[in-house]
């Protein structure tokens, strides 16, 4: 973050807050508030060191805001806000419920922090420190709350020798996270007595009770100071009426007006302000009549405004009603053009902001317009319309008004939304680089895009009422026929009733369903693009989820239900791509959705036209994603633990990056990040009421956190080594923990006291678990046993023996009748904890079982394993019901949601995945490897592709069709390197098993096995005539082999570290090798002599290649550069700063371009007789900062992979987002530049073919 960006962002928000003061603060006389300055409570607050908070309470419109404005004016001259040498600070904030940006706790702290920094810029480092890792402050995110609290506390702590005044007005209008803000104020008032708070609010019992719990709170209630308020009102009326142009030089009339207003005001400043506003537009001779007619009290005044609207011309009256109705029911203040859309105003008014504003002025004084946004003049105005003006404004009821807003929204979005509505053009344009065009094409539909489903939900309430009426009518009909002595079936009665009520309303409003269905079928992708542009993807996911729920009750909407279900899977799966780059809805969204996705089929015509062939995807979502509903990304290191909250709405995760994150289980949004542990977080768990979270860490501590605020409530210290596991008892009063110190500890979760230390295991304790009745604790250990303990006494009850390796995980079933355990012996065992008998042994995992968990009904067990899979088992029979694949690395933790509808898993691949464990779909598995793909390579003529994998196999692929032609099996360990002979008749492979194998790619026969290396064979290559093979190894040597007989002809020694890459020259007279010792060596393969050692890279060399004339060598390094060398002189001719390590490297036949995994790079064909040492920088939007001098920008074209593997690039620009399971660890570009092959951690090999005329 730059030194000024944070405050500037804060300042922009605060400027909008200040505008809410304009109405009252511009002309308010001192007499209107001076009384409070003399009040004993105020003077005590200001002068005493024991009272940190003054709470001003009063009913709506009674002048609380005006009083606080007066107090601010009084304090300002004594603070740095006005006098830089002053010894005090002043910060204030005015909440406003009708403005979302002014009605949440984050905004309050943000504004307060800004004003403190403005007065003392040296406070700024506290902001920079909190956000130094994220680049810029994300103040709008829920997870920022803790950071904001800490920033504020750091600032006031630093200024502990100086007074700080903090004013927060209308605390009751802080509608989001009000409790968190209240608690924060109380905590700060106790911790920092030099900070003086003034807050105001309406009279709410909940707030009063909470605030008065603190002895440092002073209360000042306006109704107890009626005389002072009366005098203030009198002064206010005198001042405001004196400014009326129509009363100038009319002393008698002025006096009459002042007396009348004083008599009717009833201590309400807002009433006076509204009447004065009306008088400003009244002719002088009508003023007396208006003053006489105006009623006493706010509600009566509002009622008079409604009556005035009713007396307008019919057309104007209806427009005013539409405006007030839409404004009152909207979920946020509306832009003028948005109001024109959702209200249903006539087209000639709705499309013109000035016309809308004119109609607003005719709608009484309920509304005001600032910066083209429509606000209520006061919260009480909105309350009146909703609570008392229903029949006048909502003549057909609230549901009907919501339905109108829904239909208007769908109609407007259908007309407006289109592909690339902002004209971005480039598919990879990131959201943070998008510029809003003028005029903004989304200006009128921005509100509709976010809230249309909410209005659909509210409109359904009328349908629910009619259903109740229908049931009541049905019973009456049956009763009537019974009285007549006739029998009437329910079916017949239902038919009669439906004839009276209308089937369309009883079975759901099919007209609305049809409109929704049409919108989704024709505009769904365009809506997703708009959501991304509006930064509303989270709200979009919630909307589709809500829509899916609403449709569940409508049997006649089956087709729409299926579409919505597919749309929900689509938005959850592609959220990251579209949220990052809006146009990825059409590229990544289309390419990486399953074949039978309804969204994919409906919008397939929107896919990128230049993809001639995309890799095959699964048949449906379950086959495509392995029932994975969501992938949560955000941790920087391995995710070690994951748990659902007990209401299944949130997920907590603990990571090697030392943090705990809270996630929305439905939308995937990160809600909060908790920092505090000094080392990796090994375990997280929710308390059973989901109010707290416990975490265990490598720093030897357990922390208890408030699950809502993120505050650390307790730090439990006592273990001597890493804490491996934590768990709450069912009543949440205790926490059990296990540790590498071989002990289990039982703690009081509220006081932090250690109640019991249990010893008995012979090695470190891995998992601990409470039984559901909290009467027992189970622990698993590296000593291969599970032990059952009494947590109250610490007594040992039972030892369960049977595993042959470490017990990594243990859990009780929810009825406490069974225990499941997972072990390094690859097994899950189910035990009777009372008898110690092993009831079931579940076999199926190929590696260590790292985690086990029971479903809530104890009928199923889920297990996670080092083999990267999750398995779902029948707990009674031991049958494996499902295998969930999708993680790229070890699965560390699995957990069922409380309703057992979802499983969450955490992995070494830094992700959390949410799965559907209930599908019984028989999935067709797509072709691919079962492990990491370490190598992908084209044949010389690009007619074949070979891949080598951790699964010990090589696969040969047809790049034209994507079909797997052959699977070569024979290695005993993972395959690290593969290569074709120049005539494509042979394939050679190098492996972790230390051997090289030569294969016939058509038959799959192994022709030779070459043995001789002492460690992993990292690279293999054929000579041009295919008679020899060269191999490089981690044993630091290169070997030359006879490809026909398998004899070792030469062993080339000289490197000081692993050899990563070897290659023959075109004439086979030279061999080049690259090593982790940072050098390239040129060898004579006949004599074994080292001819040249090329030095210049700063890190290991991972790829080398000769030019076709053998005069140059190109080398790629971990230092993110490619160097081009003169073979004869050893001089470095060029150094190309690429921005990432290049594993695949080859010259074209002319020597003017390099084919790499990041694309085709044009290079200068510098004559070998005139070597240079020019250093060039690859122009790329994803280039990392490098320590190289930018002398010339290289031309980079074609297709490749971004340095972070998140993107396929086109002409160096991000073009196609890759979902997590398709991000490659190896990639290659064919010689035509039109075929790209990706080898993924998931085992998939993806082959893309592009249009022939696309990359010229």
List of long-range contacts for 785-794, beta carbons under 8 Å, 24+ apart: 785/761, 786/810, 786/819, 786/821, 786/831, 787/760, 787/761, 788/819, 788/833, 789/744, 789/758, 789/760, 791/729, 791/734, 791/736, 791/746, 791/756, 792/756, 793/756, 794/746, 794/756, 794/757, 794/758
Angstrom CA distances, 989 to 937, 992, 1015, stand at: 11, 10, 14
Span 1176-1189, pLDDT tens digits: 555 444 444 334 43
DSSP state of 21: G
Number of Cβ atoms within 10 Å of the Cβ of 930: 17
Span 712-738, pLDDT tens digits: 999 999 999 999 999 999 999 999 999
pLDDT confidence of residue 871: 95
Which of 718, 736, 723, 740 lies closest to 792, judged by CA? 736
**What is the percent of the chain where pLDDT is above 70?**
87
Residue reference for tokens 């990706």: 1238
Look up the CATH superfamily of 5-225. P-loop containing nucleotide triphosphate hydrolases (3.40.50.300)
What one-character-per-residue DSSP string does 1108-1120 give? TTSSEEEEEETTS
pLDDT confidence of residue 408: 97
Q: Specify the range with the lowest mean pLDDT, choosing from 67-81, 131-145, 216-230, 603-617.
A: 131-145
Span 51-84, pLDDT tens digits: 889 999 888 888 888 889 889 999 999 999 888 8
Mean pLDDT of the chain: 86
The token duo for 628 is 């994975």
pLDDT confidence of residue 213: 53
Residue range 1050-1062: mean pLDDT, rounded: 97
pLDDT confidence of residue 502: 40
Beta bridge partners of 686: 693
Question: Per DSSP, which regions of 1043-1085 are E strands?
Answer: 1048-1053, 1059-1064, 1071-1075, 1079-1083
Residue reference for tokens 């110190």: 741
The token duo for 267 is 């201590």
Which of 114, 176, 189, 191 lies closest to 145, judged by CA? 176
Residue 234 has pLDDT above 90, yes or no: no
What is the four-CA torsion angle of 295, 298, 302, 305, rounded to 10 degrees? 40
Domain ranges of the chain: 5-225, 243-294, 304-395, 431-625, 628-729+736-753+765-915
Span 922-939, pLDDT tens digits: 444 567 898 889 999 999
CATH of domain 304-395: 1.10.10
- 878 pLDDT band (50/70/90 cuts)? very high
Residue range 975-990: mean pLDDT, rounded: 96
The token duo for 501 is 């009520």
Span 816-867, pLDDT tens digits: 999 999 999 999 999 999 999 999 999 999 999 999 999 998 999 999 999 9
pLDDT confidence of residue 282: 82
Number of Cβ atoms within 10 Å of the Cβ of 1082: 22
What 3-state class would DSSP assign to 1074?
strand
Residue range 514-524: mean pLDDT, rounded: 95
Residue 474 has pLDDT above 60, yes or no: no
Residue 814 has pLDDT above 50, yes or no: yes
Beta bridge partners of 980: 987
- 98 pLDDT band (50/70/90 cuts)? confident
What one-character-per-residue DSSP string does 153-206 give? HHHHHHTTTSEEEEEEE-GGG--BSHHHHHHHHHHHHHH-TTEEEEEEE---HH
Q: At what angle do helices 510-533 and 446-483 cross, to 10 degrees?
A: 160
CATH of domain 628-729+736-753+765-915: 2.130.10.10
- The answer for residues whose C-beta is within 8 angstroms of residue 387's C-beta and 6 or more apart is none
Residue 974 and residue 982 in contact, taking contact as beta carbons nearer than 8 Å: no
Residue 1169 has pLDDT above 80, yes or no: no
How many residues belong to the chain?
Answer: 1256
pLDDT confidence of residue 102: 85
Residue 986 and residue 999 in contact, taking contact as beta carbons nearer than 8 Å: yes
């Amino acid at each position: 973050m730059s030194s000024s960006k944070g405050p500037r962002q804060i300042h922009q928000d605060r400027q909008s807050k200040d505008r809410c003061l304009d109405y009252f603060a511009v002309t308010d006389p001192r007499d209107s508030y001076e009384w409070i300055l003399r009040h004993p409570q105020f003077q005590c607050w200001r002068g005493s060191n024991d009272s940190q908070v003054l709470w001003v309470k009063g009913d709506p419109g009674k002048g609380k805001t005006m009083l606080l404005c007066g107090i601010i004016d009084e304090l300002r001259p004594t603070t740095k806000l006005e006098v830089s040498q002053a010894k005090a600070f002043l910060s204030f904030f005015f909440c406003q419920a009708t403005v979302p940006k002014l009605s949440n706790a984050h905004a309050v702290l943000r504004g307060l922090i800004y004003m403190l920094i403005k007065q003392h810029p040296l406070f700024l480092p506290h902001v920079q420190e909190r956000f130094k890792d994220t680049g810029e402050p994300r103040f709008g995110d829920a997870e920022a709350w803790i950071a904001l609290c800490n920033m504020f506390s750091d600032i006031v702590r630093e200024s502990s020798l100086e007074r700080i005044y903090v004013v927060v007005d209308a605390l009751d209008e802080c509608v989001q996270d009000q409790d968190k803000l209240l608690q924060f104020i109380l905590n700060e008032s106790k911790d920092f007595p030099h900070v003086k708070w003034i807050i105001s609010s309406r009279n709410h019992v909940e707030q009063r009770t909470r605030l008065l719990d603190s002895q440092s709170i002073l209360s000042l209630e306006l109704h107890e100071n009626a005389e002072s308020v009366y005098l203030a009102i009198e002064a206010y009326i005198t001042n405001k009426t004196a400014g009326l142009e129509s009363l100038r030089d009319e002393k008698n009339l002025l006096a009459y007006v002042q007396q009348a207003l004083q008599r009717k005001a009833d201590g309400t400043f807002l009433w006076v302000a509204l009447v004065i506003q009306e008088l400003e537009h009244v002719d002088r001779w009508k003023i007396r009549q208006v003053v006489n007619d105006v009623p006493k009290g706010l509600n009566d005044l509002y009622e008079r405004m409604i009556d005035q609207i009713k007396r307008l011309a019919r057309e104007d009256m209806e427009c005013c009603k539409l405006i007030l109705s839409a404004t009152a029911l909207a979920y946020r203040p509306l832009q003028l053009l948005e109001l024109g859309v959702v209200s249903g105003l006539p087209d000639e008014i709705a499309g013109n902001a000035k016309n809308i504003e004119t109609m607003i002025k005719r709608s009484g004084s309920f509304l005001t317009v600032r910066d083209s946004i429509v606000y209520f003049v006061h919260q009480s105005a909105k309350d009146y319309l909703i609570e008392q003006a229903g029949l006048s404004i909502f003549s057909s009821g609230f549901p009907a008004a919501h339905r109108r807003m829904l239909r208007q929204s769908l109609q407007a979005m259908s007309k407006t939304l289109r592909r690339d509505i902002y004209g971005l053009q480039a598919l990879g344009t990131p959201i943070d680089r998008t510029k809003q065009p003028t005029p903004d094409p989304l200006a009128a539909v921005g509100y509709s895009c976010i809230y249309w489903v909410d209005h659909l939900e509210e409109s359904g309430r009328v349908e629910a009422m009619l259903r109740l009426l229908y049931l009541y009518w049905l019973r009456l009909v049956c009763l009537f026929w019974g009285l007549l002595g006739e029998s009437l079936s329910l079916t017949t009665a239902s038919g009669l009733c439906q004839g009276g009520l209308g089937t369309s309303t009883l079975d759901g409003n099919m007209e609305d369903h049809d409109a929704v269905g049409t919108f989704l079928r024709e505009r769904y992708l365009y809506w997703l693009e708009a959501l991304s542009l509006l930064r509303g993807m989270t709200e979009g996911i919630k909307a589709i989820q809500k829509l899916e729920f609403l449709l569940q009750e409508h049997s006649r909407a089956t087709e729409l239900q299926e579409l919505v279900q597919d749309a929900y899977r689509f938005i959850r799966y592609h959220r990251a791509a579209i949220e990052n780059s809006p146009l990825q809805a059409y590229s990544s969204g289309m390419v990486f959705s399953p074949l039978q996705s309804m969204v994919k089929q409906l919008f397939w015509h929107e896919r990128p036209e230049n993809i001639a062939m995309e890799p095959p995807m699964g048949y449906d979502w379950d086959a495509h994603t392995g029932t994975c509903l969501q992938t949560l990304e955000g941790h920087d290191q391995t995710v070690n633990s994951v748990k659902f909250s007990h209401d299944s709405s949130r997920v907590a995760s603990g990571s090697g990056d030392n943090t705990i994150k809270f996630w929305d289980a439905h939308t995937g949004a990160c809600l909060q990040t908790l920092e505090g542990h000094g080392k990796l977080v090994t375990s997280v768990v929710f308390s059973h009421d989901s109010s707290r979270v416990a975490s265990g860490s490598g720093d030897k501590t357990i922390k208890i956190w408030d699950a809502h605020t993120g505050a650390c409530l307790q730090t439990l210290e006592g273990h001597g080594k890493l804490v491996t596991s934590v768990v709450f008892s069912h009543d949440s009063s205790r926490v059990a923990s296990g540790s590498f110190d071989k002990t289990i500890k039982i703690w009081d979760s509220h006081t932090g006291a250690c109640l019991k230390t249990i010893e008995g295991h012979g090695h470190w304790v891995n998992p601990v678990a409470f039984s559901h009745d909290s009467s027992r604790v189970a622990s698993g250990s590296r000593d291969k046993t599970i032990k059952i303990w009494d947590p109250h006494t610490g007594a040992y009850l039972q030892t369960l023996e049977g595993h042959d390796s470490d017990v990594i995980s243990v859990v009780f079933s929810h009825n406490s009748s069974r225990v499941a355990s997972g072990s390094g012996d690859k097994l899950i065992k189910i035990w009777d904890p009372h008898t110690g008998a092993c009831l079931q042994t579940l076999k199926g995992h190929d590696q260590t079982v790292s985690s086990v968990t029971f479903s809530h009904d104890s009928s199923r067990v889920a297990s996670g394993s080092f083999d990267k899979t999750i398995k779902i088992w029948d707990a009674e029979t031991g049958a494996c019901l499902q295998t969930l694949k999708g993680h790229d690395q070890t699965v560390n933790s699995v957990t069922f949601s409380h309703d057992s509808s979802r499983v969450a898993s955490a992995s070494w691949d830094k992700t959390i995945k949410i799965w559907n464990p209930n599908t019984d779909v028989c999935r067709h598995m797509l072709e691919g490897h079962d492990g990491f793909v370490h190598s992908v390579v084209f044949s010389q003529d690009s007619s074949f592709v070979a891949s080598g994998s951790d699964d010990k196999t090589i696969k040969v692929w047809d790049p034209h069709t994507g079909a797997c032609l052959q699977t070569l099996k024979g290695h005993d360990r993972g395959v690290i390197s593969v290569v074709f002979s120049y005539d494509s008749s042979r394939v050679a492979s190098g492996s972790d098993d230390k051997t090289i194998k030569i294969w016939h790619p058509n038959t799959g026969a192994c022709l030779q096995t070459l043995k001789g290396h002492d460690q992993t064979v990292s690279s293999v290559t054929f000579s041009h005539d295919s008679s020899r093979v060269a191999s490089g190894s981690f044993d630091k040597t290169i070997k030359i082999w006879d490809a026909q007989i398998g004899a070792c002809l030469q062993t080339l020694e000289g490197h000081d570290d692993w050899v990563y890459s070897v290659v023959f020259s075109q004439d086979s007279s030279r061999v080049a090798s690259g090593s982790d010792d940072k050098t390239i060596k040129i060898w004579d393969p006949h004599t074994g002599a080292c001819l040249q050692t090329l030095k210049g890279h700063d890190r290991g060399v991972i790829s080398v290649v000769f030019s076709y004339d053998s005069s140059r060598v190109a080398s790629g390094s971990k230092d993110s550069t490619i160097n081009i060398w003169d073979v004869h002189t050893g001089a470095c001719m060029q150094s190309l700063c690429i921005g990432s390590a290049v594993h695949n490297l080859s010259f074209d036949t002319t020597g003017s371009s390099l084919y790499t995994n990041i694309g085709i790079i044009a290079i200068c064909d510098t004559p070998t007789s005139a070597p240079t040492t020019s250093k060039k920088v690859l122009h790329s939007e994803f280039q990392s900062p490098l320590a190289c001098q930018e002398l010339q920008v290289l031309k980079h074209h074609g297709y490749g992979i971004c340095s972070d593997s998140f993107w396929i690039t086109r002409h160096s620009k991000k073009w196609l987002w890759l979902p997590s399971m398709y991000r490659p660890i190896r990639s290659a570009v064919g010689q035509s530049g039109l075929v790209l092959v990706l080898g993924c951690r998931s085992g998939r090999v993806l082959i893309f073919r592009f249009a022939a005329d696309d990359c010229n």
